[in-house]
Amino acid sequence: MTVSVGIAFSEPDQDSISHFLIQADHALYRAKSSGKTALS
């Protein structure tokens, strides 16, 4: 079994949850593209 994790940080003045989710999605795909058991 392998795990890929994408992490995003929310800024206190961030006004949009959709921007946060886009950042998290991009981080997840960076982790997946770097190989098995990755964290990005």
The pLDDT > 70 percentage for the chain reads 88
The 3-state DSSP composition of the chain as helix, strand, coil percent (nearest 5) reads 40, 10, 50
Where do the domains of the chain lie? 4-39
Q: Provide the mean pLDDT of the chain.
A: 81
pTM score, whole prediction: 0.67
Q: 């206190």: which residue's tokens? A: 12
CA 15 – CA 34 distance, rounded (Å): 30
pLDDT reading at 40 higher than 70: no
E-state strands within the chain: 4-5, 38-39
Average pLDDT on 23-33 reads 86
β-strand partners of 5: 39
